Amino acid sequence: MPGRIMIVDDAAFMRMMLKDILTKNGYEVVAEASNGKEAVLKYEEVKPDLVTMDITMPEMDGITAVKEIKKIDPNARIIMCSAMGQQAMVVDAIQAGARDFIVKPFKPERVIEAVKKVLGN
């Protein structure tokens, strides 16, 4: 069963790419945010089934955003989008409650696998 997804990334290009991958596979992108702060606000508003979260962003970084979202919704399902070399931050994000992570550059099949597994479908 496809789900409703929110994409968080400060790069419009990345958002576009992810959106393409997701929509092609039948997922609905219900919201986009370009920083952590916006992500937290929109999460409350649209209550997506899943969030893809970039780590390095202006205003509020992805790890803080994970913590904030987890406060609003402890069951929130979040996948971290990480660049190479961000191991430590990914670990932080997992500790903060992120369910899984994908590594840039994205391979469509890996993105979909992670989304499927996290959504349990």
Partner 1 sequence: MTETFDMERYLGVFLEEVEEHIERLEENLVQLEKNPDEESLVQAIFRSFHTIKGSSSSMGFQKMMELAHLMENLLDGVRKKTIAVTPELVDTLLRGVDLLKFMRNGIALEGKEPEVETGEIVGMLQHFLGRREKASEEVEKKPEAIPKEEKEYVVKVFLTLDCSMKGVRAYLVINRLQESGIDVVSTNPSLTDLESERFGQSFEVFVRTELTPEEIKRVVESVAEVEKAEITAQGKEVLLEAAREEKKEEEQTRAITSERRKITGGLKKTVRVDVERLDALMNLVGELVIDRARLEDIIRKLQESKEVAYLRTLLADTTTHIGRVTNELQMEIMKARMLPLAEVFNRFPRMVRDLARNFGKEIDFVVEGEDTELDRSLIEEITDPLIHLLRNAVDHGIEPPEERIALGKPPRGRILLKAYQEENSVVILVQDDGRGIDVEKIRKKALALGLVTQEELARMSDREAIEFIFYSGFSTNENVTDVSGRGVGMDIVRRNIERVNGQVHVESEKGKGTTFFLRLPLTLAIIRALLVRVNGAIYSIPLADVVEIEKIEKKNTYWVNKTLTSLFRGRTLPLLRLRDLLEGKKAEYEEGMEIPDVLYTVVVNTARVLAGLVVDAIVGEQEIVIKSLGSYIGDVRGLGGATILGDGRVSLIVDVASLLWKMVQVGG
Kindly list the residues in this chain that would bind partner 1 in the complex (CB under 8 A): 82, 84, 87, 90-91, 94-95, 100-103, 107, 110, 113-114, 117-118, 120
3-state DSSP assignment of residue 107: coil
Shortest Å, Cβ 41 to partner 1: 27
Smallest distance from partner 1 to CB 55, Å = 12
Nearest CB to partner 1, comparing residues 38 and 49? 49
Q: How far is the CB of 90 from partner 1 (least distance, A)?
A: 5
Nearer to partner 1, 35 or 98 (CB): 98
- Tell me how far, at minimum, the Cβ of 36 lies from partner 1, in Å: 20
- Residue 35 or 90: the one with the smaller Cβ distance to partner 1 is 90
CA pair distance 109, 119, nearest whole angstrom: 15
The first and second tokens of residue 40, run together, are 């937290």
Q: 53: exposed, middle or buried (C-beta count within 10 Å: 0-12, 13-18, 19+)?
A: buried
